[in-house]
Structure 1
Amino acid sequence: MRVAIVTVGDELLAGDTVNTNAAWLCTELTERGVSVERVTTLPDRVADIARVVNEYHAEYDAVIVTGGLGPTHDDLTMEGVAAAFGREVEESEAALAWLTEQGGYAAGDLAEGTTHLPAGARMLPNDEGVAPGAVVESVYVLPGVPAEMKAMFARVADEFAGEPTYSETVATPEPESTLLDRIAGVQEAFDVTVGSYPGEHVRLKVTATDPETARSAADWLSERVEVLEE
């Protein structure tokens, strides 16, 4: 399963808010065997949201969009997703029923636009907030507030599945540029992918579709590189 993630918010692009949602979703999806192939951050602009969602919907098995839900002036994500599908944004009876019956809100107390979703969308309840999410075909629209996003993702998590992967990591003080021959060697010897992540030291992450292969590849590397002492 191939997935693209779209995070929406001027505050993300300005650096006012750290984009933790993207990192969290990437981790969750990868652990489910899903291949995350795009992470894109967009401004609160309907045309940009519509264009990117339309493109990614055609290319990937699913698209997750986070941020900009609700009735305020810069909450334009639902409108952008609706535009991507040529749909209107309209009152959702399911959202209104959830908020009044389960959320304890009176209809008159809800801000205008709170229950508006793209026409024909599947409503996703917001267990940690007010503004509901939505699913439009294979596009999942979640809140930007991390606690709300995580709770809503839990409701649809089982809809994201792929072949499980297993990883092992070998840390070495050797410079990354000197490791190229052994990185190539382990990929020739085993059916694995290798990530090389430099920092205070280099982390070599080997990933396979079964734990035995991942462990064997890590052992192979450990015998051929200088292993960082714990």
Structure 2
Amino acid sequence: MQVALVTVGDELLDGDTENTNATWLSRQLTDRGVTVTRVLTVPDSEDVIADAVREYSDAFDAVVVTGGLGRTPDDLTMEGVAAAFDRDLVENDLARADIERTLEEIAGDYPDLDVDAAEESLLPEGARPLLNRAGLSPGCVLEDVYVLPGIPSEMKRMFEDVAEEFAGEADSRFVYTDEPEANLIDRLDEVRERFDVKVGCYPDSEAGHNRLKLTASDAAALADAEAWLSEHVSHAE
């Protein structure tokens, strides 16, 4: 399963907010055997969001979009996703009921909160709503596109509800060596070509070693690649 991530927000591009959502989602998906093939950050622009979602929806098995699900002027994610599929935004009854229930629960803590539940419940026509169990604004699933909040705590909680829909066969093994990265090139090329695995080399100066990552969907080939590479490099202590 190949997945693309689209994170939305001017604040990410400006460097005002660290893009922790992309890192967290990539790790979660990779741990589930999914291959994250693209990570793209786009501004709060309906047209740009729509173009990215449309392209990635056609190219990959699924797209996960995070950011901008409220109703402030810069929250254009739902509009962009709807435009990608030529859908209108329509009030979703399930989402509205959940929003109204949440507003009732927090009314005592936020007596001056002014939220239009109907406006807040607008989703692309035909989308499956994803209720926001850690916040207010709902997400949705439209065809192969999953739309999650940008607030990390809300995004993580909503992802739990759809995590089982992401599964792949890719797995990884690690070999650690104290050899310099430049000295490993020939052997890394050989293990990749010999066993048809993806190879990564990640120096860790603090630990004083290189972490060699082997990834493949074929479990036997991956085990053979790990065994071969382990025999052909010196190991870090």
Give the alignment's TM-score, normalised by structure 2: 0.87
Counterpart in the other structure of 1:22: 22
Checking the alignment, whether the CA contact within 8 Å between 1:53 and 1:63 is kept in structure 2 is: yes
Task: Point out the more displaced range, 169-178 or 50-59.
Answer: 169-178
Residues 105-151 of structure 1: per-residue CA shift (max 9 Å, x gap): 68x95336311111221110001000000111111110001111111
Alignment map for 1:199-214 (pairs within 5 Å): 199-200=204-205, 201-209=209-217, 213-214=221-222
Alignment map for 1:136-155 (pairs within 5 Å): 136-155=142-161
Please state if 1:174 is matched with 2:176.
no
Task: Point out the more displaced range, 150-159 or 196-205.
Answer: 196-205
- What do you get for the CA RMSD once the two structures are aligned? 2.1
SS in 2 for 1:223: helix
Q: Unaligned stretches of 5+ in structure 1?
A: none
Structure 1 position 222, deviation (Å): 2.7
Task: Supply the distance in 1 between the matched residues of 2:190 and 2:234 (Cα, whole angstroms).
Answer: 15
Task: Supply the distance in 2 between the matched residues of 1:208 and 1:82 (Cα, whole angstroms).
Answer: 35
Counterpart in the other structure of 1:99: 99
Structure 1 position 183, deviation (Å): 1.2
Counterpart in the other structure of 2:125: 119
Question: Quick one: structure 1 residues 169 and 55, their matched pair in 2 at CA, closer, same or farther if it must change by over 3 Å?
Answer: same
Structure 2 residue identity aligned to 1:96: R
Please state if 1:133 is matched with 2:139.
yes
Checking the alignment, whether the CA contact within 8 Å between 2:9 and 2:41 is kept in structure 1 is: yes
Say how many residue pairs are matched: 227
Checking the alignment, whether the CA contact within 8 Å between 1:133 and 1:141 is kept in structure 2 is: yes
Structure 2 residue identity aligned to 1:172: T
Task: Supply the distance in 2 between the matched residues of 1:158 and 1:61 (Cα, whole angstroms).
Answer: 15
Structure 1 position 210, deviation (Å): 5.9
Structure 1 position 168, deviation (Å): 2.2
Task: Supply the distance in 1 between the matched residues of 2:62 and 2:121 (Cα, whole angstroms).
Answer: 24
Counterpart in the other structure of 1:223: 231
Give the alignment's TM-score, normalised by structure 1: 0.89
Checking the alignment, whether the CA contact within 8 Å between 1:126 and 1:148 is kept in structure 2 is: yes
Checking the alignment, whether the CA contact within 8 Å between 2:102 and 2:136 is kept in structure 1 is: no
Checking the alignment, whether the CA contact within 8 Å between 1:4 and 1:36 is kept in structure 2 is: yes
Task: Point out the more displaced range, 48-57 or 217-226.
Answer: 217-226
Counterpart in the other structure of 2:167: 161
